């Protein structure tokens, strides 16, 4: 009986994993340019970490977390995102005492029990960045520049960075109240979900996907019109830097983000190739979070990109192909052991070798070699074994060099021998 995978949990097969590795490498390269260092945190945390940080009226906490009771009765959760865990680790290890500013990145799986569709899974991977310890507008701009450079390095098709400000503790309460009053006056036109959220989390009104709610809230007040002077100055300063650096962003006054910890600068990235799940990434500032999770008064800002969505929206030819073997060894008859011995020596010397199993005809070996894409096939049959020299087939020029390479060569000598064969004029080839 076959046992299928769990709904929303996907395998990444070799065809696609090349793109994943490439994405990770590009990201690491860009992070190094910005002096970010990697942090690795567990995928399981205490449930309260997420309820307290993400917010208990968010979709994630209300209905998407994989929570379970551990054997000792405690409630644990597979992380739905990275920020809460990073901040927990930051507080737990008192990183603020080691360095005034921490610039961190992370890669790894996250879990949300959403309805699966294209670009939306229950296990998905994020590449994320968190900068802790700075609250100035320049760092917000720098984080957006980093995001912009990363999208370029990943060759994402038509990315667009959308920007908003979500205000702070000084100006948001009054705005919240204004939005709540606005929604209250239109309660009958709102979906059940939004009606329920009016009291506890009115900002979510702006985020509802239902067309009725969208129509009813088309002229809802927006945070940008309610910013206090410091939030306004901060937002203007962020935009001024982005302008100066020539990074185009689009103001999106209705964007509120799906997690509650944000304040001031918030942003999302949309791109081509994603259908209705068009956000490849999102992030923003979260100045109260470290304190809420038991740490000091440390501001933070960051973002995360979804790897599955990056794969869908990157240029088709962006990632290279995996490196083909440099040589393919085809043992015939009883030569398997000697072939393995030579392959082992050459691999230890840094040569990429594909070793075919013995007991096959030369024809079927050549078929395999063709598929493997190696430029040289080294044939080891009875005659070659007796002469302790392999026959080389140059797959590009389609010519054979009979017993041309000594079986006992070192890896370096093998490379030199193959290079020499390639330089021989055609007519001298056997
Ligand atoms: P988020 O917007 O919830 O933010 O997720 C970031 C990205 O993760 C999304 O834009 C999307 O690409 C990907 N993603 C989310 N859910 C799924 C899913 N079910 N299937 C596939 N991809 C998904 C955060 O998680 C914040 N922690 C970002 C952040 C970091 N804010 C500050 N620092």
Q: How far apart are CA 397 and CA 423, in angstroms?
A: 11
Q: How many A from CA of 256 to the centre of ligand 1? A: 13
In this prediction, residue 278 carries a pLDDT of 79
Q: How many residues does this entry show for the chain?
A: 430
Q: How far apart are CA 26 and CA 156, in angstroms?
A: 12
* Strand 249-251 relative to strand 160-165, pairing: parallel
Torsion angle, CA of 220/54/300/88, rounded to 10 degrees? 170
Ligand 1 pocket by Cβ (under 6 Å)? 81-83, 112, 114, 119-121, 124, 126, 128, 130, 258-259, 279-284, 302-306, 308-309
Q: How far apart are CA 160 and CA 128, in angstroms?
A: 18
Q: How many other C-beta atoms can be found within 10 angstroms of the C-beta atom of residue 348?
A: 10
Q: How far apart are CA 81 and CA 111, in angstroms?
A: 7
In this prediction, residue 333 carries a pLDDT of 85
Q: How far apart are CA 403 and CA 391, in angstroms?
A: 4
Where b means 16+ CB within 10 Å and e means fewer, 214-230 reads eebbeebebbbebbbee
Q: How many other C-beta atoms can be found within 10 angstroms of the C-beta atom of residue 196?
A: 14
Among the atoms of ligand 1, which is closest to the Cα of residue 280? 12
Could you tell me the two tokens for 269?
């990235």
Q: How many A from CA of 304 to the centre of ligand 1? A: 6
Q: How many A from CA of 281 to the centre of ligand 1? A: 6
Q: How many A from CA of 116 to the centre of ligand 1? A: 15
In this prediction, residue 209 carries a pLDDT of 85
Q: Whose CA is nearest to atom 10 of ligand 1?
A: 281
Q: Which of 81, 248, 80, 219 is nearest to 152 (CA)?
A: 248
pTM of the model: 0.93
Angle at 367 between CA 365 and CA 405, to 5 degrees: 50
Measured distance between the N- and C-terminal CA atoms of the chain, rounded to whole angstroms: 54
Q: Whose CA is nearest to atom 2 of ligand 1?
A: 282
Q: How far apart are CA 179 and CA 171, in angstroms?
A: 13
Among the atoms of ligand 1, which is closest to the Cα of residue 302? 33
Q: pLDDT in tens for each of the 430 residues of the chain? A: 999 999 999 999 998 999 999 999 999 999 999 999 999 999 999 999 999 999 988 999 999 999 999 999 999 999 999 999 999 999 999 999 999 999 999 999 999 999 999 999 999 999 999 999 999 999 999 999 999 999 999 999 999 999 999 999 999 999 999 999 999 999 999 999 899 888 888 998 998 888 989 999 999 999 999 999 999 999 999 999 999 999 999 999 999 999 999 999 999 999 998 877 679 999 999 999 999 999 999 999 999 999 999 999 999 888 878 889 999 999 998 899 999 999 999 999 999 999 999 888 899 999 999 999 999 999 999 999 999 999 999 999 999 999 999 999 999 999 999 999 989 887 654 5
Could you tell me the two tokens for 288?
């109260």
Q: How far is CA 233 from CA 136, 170, 300, in A?
A: 11, 14, 18
Q: Whose CA is nearest to atom 17 of ligand 1?
A: 120
Q: How many A from CA of 105 to the centre of ligand 1? A: 14
Q: How far apart are CA 368 and CA 375, in angstroms?
A: 13
In this prediction, residue 427 carries a pLDDT of 62
Among the atoms of ligand 1, which is closest to the Cα of residue 258? 3
Among 139, 304, 307, 308, residue to substitute to test ligand 1 (most atoms within 8 Å of Cβ): 304
In this prediction, residue 160 carries a pLDDT of 96
Q: How far apart are CA 162 and CA 372, in angstroms?
A: 44
């Amino acid at each position: 009986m076959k046992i299928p995978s769990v709904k929303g949990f996907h395998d990444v097969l070799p065809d696609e994993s090349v793109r994943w590795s490439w994405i990770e490498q590009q990201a690491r390269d860009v992070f190094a340019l910005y002096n970010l260092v990697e942090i690795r945190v567990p995928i399981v945390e205490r449930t309260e970490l997420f309820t307290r940080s993400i917010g208990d009226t968010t979709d994630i906490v209300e209905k998407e977390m994989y929570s379970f009771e551990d054997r000792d009765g405690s409630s644990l959760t597979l992380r739905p995102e990275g920020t809460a865990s990073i901040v927990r680790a930051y507080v737990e290890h008192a990183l603020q005492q080691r360095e005034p500013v921490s610039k961190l990145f992370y890669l790894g799986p996250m879990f949300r029990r959403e309805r699966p569709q294209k670009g939306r899974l229950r296990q998905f991977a994020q590449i994320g960045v968190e900068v802790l310890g700075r609250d100035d507008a320049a760092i917000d701009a720098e984080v957006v520049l980093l995001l912009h450079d990363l999208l370029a390095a990943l060759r994402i098709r038509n990315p667009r960075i959308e920007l908003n400000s979500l205000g702070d503790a000084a100006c948001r309460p009054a705005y919240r109240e204004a939005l709540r009053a606005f929604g209250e006056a239109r309660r009958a036109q709102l979906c059940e979900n939004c009606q329920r959220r009016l009291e506890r989390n009115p900002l979510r009104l702006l985020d509802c996907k239902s067309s009725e709610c969208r129509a009813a809230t088309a002229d809802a007040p927006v945070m940008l019109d309610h910013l206090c002077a410091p939030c306004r100055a901060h937002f203007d300063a962020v935009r001024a830097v982005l302008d100066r650096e020539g990074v185009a962003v689009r103001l999106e006054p209705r964007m509120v983000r799906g997690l509650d910890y944000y304040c001031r600068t918030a942003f999302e990235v949309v791109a081509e190739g994603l259908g209705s799940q068009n956000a490849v990434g999102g992030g923003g500032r979260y100045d109260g979070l470290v304190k809420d999770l038991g740490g000091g008064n440390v501001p933070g800002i960051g973002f995360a990109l979804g790897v599955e969505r990056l794969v869908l929206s990157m240029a088709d030819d962006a990632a290279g192909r995996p490196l083909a073997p440099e040589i393919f060894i085809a043992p015939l008859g009883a030569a398997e052991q000697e072939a393995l011995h030579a392959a082992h020596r050459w691999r230890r010397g840094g040569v990429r070798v594909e070793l075919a199993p013995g007991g096959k005809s030369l024809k079927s070996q050549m078929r395999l070699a063709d598929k493997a894409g190696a430029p040289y096939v080294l044939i080891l049959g009875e005659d070659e074994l007796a002469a302790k020299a392999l026959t080389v087939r140059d797959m590009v020029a389609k010519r054979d060099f009979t017993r041309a390479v000594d079986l006992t060569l070192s890896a370096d000598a093998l490379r030199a021998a193959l290079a020499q064969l390639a330089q021989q004029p055609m007519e001298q080839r056997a």
